[in-house]
Amino acid sequence: METRVALIAIIVEKGASVEGVNSLLHEYAECIIGRMGVPYKAKGVNIISIAIDAPQDDINTLAGKIGRIEGVSAKTVYASV
């Protein structure tokens, strides 16, 4: 199956939601190229970026599941390759 390279940007506004995000990322660990998390204490949010190489349906599913967690926002950007 053809895969795509994408970046999922995640902003966690509720600290209690971090566990749910981490659990989902663990489920898709085999597709994740890299992950960077930045706690922004001044605003009380956590910013996470996920580089992923997976079928587009899997990327959309993961981003959708993350975005449905209370206090979490997720957006996806796809590479043209």
Domain spans of the chain, in order of start? 4-78
Superfamily of domain 4-78: ACT-like. Chain A, domain 2 (3.30.70.1150)
Residue 11 to residue 34: CA distance in whole angstroms = 17
Average pLDDT over residues 31-46: 96
Token code pair at residue 11: 């902003």
pLDDT of residue 1: 84
In percent, how much of the chain has pLDDT > 70? Answer: 100
Phi first, then psi: what are they for 55, rounded to 5°?
A: -60, 145
Residue 55 to residue 64: CA distance in whole angstroms = 14
pLDDT at 81 over 90: no
Which pairing describes strands 4-12 and 32-40: parallel, antiparallel, or unpaired?
unpaired
Question: Rounded to two decimals, what is the model's pTM?
Answer: 0.92
CB of 18 closer than 8 Å to CB of 68: no
